[in-house]
């Protein structure tokens, strides 16, 4: 497995990249105060107490994480004029997260994304998983990591407040083999970087693919959709999918297709193109292969909201990213402040291994064995320009 330790990142792209890990208007040397607080966020239907951990830095950035689903509930950031707004979709209270909803801000697993027909073979044994997305398995099944209570501990630091969340997924849970111990840690840096570190161990061979399912709208609610956001994805290839959004095994070049985001382009510029892959996903819902230069954190994507000036950079140790343009958001949910969550009102950049990897031996392995440690990291870096 790829080691998720942070390294210095120097993005050498001819697309206006920020050099050597420094974002454009990130304040540099402001004094920091110890800033992690905990507050009640309600109770589940079986009377389990849910807590919200609020991380702050001196630049006005604030991240709120709850122990139900290890979920990023809000992420507040200033725009180019200094006005602070929440840039992720979700709900004001726990009630919204307890109802069927599209994984807003949650950690998903054991296997983020899809496994074809809900089955895979490992060590000669065929495992059958829940089928909860057409004929396929999605995001860990009926009760994945997004729907369980994690044990949380605040990390009270004057420079990098955080919260550590732990969960034991028992052997056979949702059909997966092995007792899996998972730790997810969120930390917020003075450089406006929200980092997510994933660690896991198992006592039996298993498969694992963890990711965070946050929906971003960098306008902070000012724009009803994200079609005007400009997006760069550091990928030369993607994995085409069948009608069930399962990869066929091909790694297709993005060049000459609506999937070429190597240079920044508005999300809505080609989303309506007459393209078979776009039609299958009802827009973008595809896995992009990150162009890596080595181990450690790599720039995966950059999104910009031209109106607010907010910039989101995503860095990760993972080999791929699922870009999802909110195609199945349909206006049936009311989010924060009672605002309707409409079609394409948020986008996801889910750093990950490839979908359906357990059934594709040529894809990078997702097998975790006893004695090994799964270690991955993703950073959401915020700025304004």
User: Is 137 a known active-site residue?
Assistant: no
119/131 Cα distance (integer angstroms): 9
Active-site pick, 174, 286, 350, 360:
350
What are the tokens at 173?
A: 């849970």
Active-site pick, 139, 173, 193, 213:
213
188 contacts 366 by C-beta, under 8 angstroms: no
User: Is 229 a known active-site residue?
Assistant: no
Give the residue numbers marked as catalytic.
213, 350
């Amino acid at each position: 497995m790829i080691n998720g330790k942070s390294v210095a990142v120097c993005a050498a792209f001819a697309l206006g990249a920020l050099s050597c890990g420094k974002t454009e208007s990130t304040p540099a040397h402001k004094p920091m105060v110890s800033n992690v607080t905990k507050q009640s966020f309600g109770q589940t239907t079986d009377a389990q107490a849910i807590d919200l951990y609020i991380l702050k830095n001196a630049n006005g950035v604030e991240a709120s994480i709850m122990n139900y689903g290890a979920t990023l509930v809000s992420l507040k950031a200033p725009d180019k004029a200094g006005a602070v707004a929440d840039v992720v979709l979700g709900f004001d209270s726990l009630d919204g997260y307890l109802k069927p909803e599209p994984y807003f801000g949650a950690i998903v697993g054991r296997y983020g994304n899809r496994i074809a027909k809900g089955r895979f073979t490992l060590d000669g044994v065929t495992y059958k998983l829940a089928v909860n997305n057409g004929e396929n398995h999605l995001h860990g099944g009926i009760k994945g990591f997004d729907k369980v209570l994690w044990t949380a501990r605040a990390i009270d630091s004057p420079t990098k407040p955080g919260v550590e969340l732990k969960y034991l997924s028992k052997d056979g849970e949702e059909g997966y083999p092995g007792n899996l111990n998972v730790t997810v840690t969120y930390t917020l840096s003075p450089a406006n970087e929200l980092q997510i570190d994933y660690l896991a161990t198992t006592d039996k061979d298993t498969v694992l693919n963890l990711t965070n399912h946050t929906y971003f709208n960098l306008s902070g609610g000012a724009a009803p959709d994200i079609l005007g956001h400009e997006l760069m994805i550091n990928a030369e290839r993607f994995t085409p999918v069948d009608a069930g959004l399962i990869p066929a095994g091909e790694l297709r070049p993005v060049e000459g297709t609506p999937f070429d985001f190597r240079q920044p382009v508005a999300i809505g510029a080609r989303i309506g193109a007459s393209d078979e892959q776009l039609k299958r996903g009802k827009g973008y819902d595809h896995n992009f292969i990150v162009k890596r230069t080595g181990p450690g954190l790599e720039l995966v994507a950059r999104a910009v909201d031209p109106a607010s000036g907010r910039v989101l950079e995503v860095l990760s140790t993972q080999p791929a990213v699922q870009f999802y343009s909110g195609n199945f958001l349909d206006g049936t949910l009311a989010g924060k402040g009672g605002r309707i969550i409409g079609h394409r009102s948020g986008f996801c950049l889910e750093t990950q291994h490839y979908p359906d990897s357990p059934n594709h031996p040529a894809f990078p392995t997702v097998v975790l064995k006893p004695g090994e440690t799964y270690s991955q990291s993703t950073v959401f870096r915020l700025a304004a320009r």
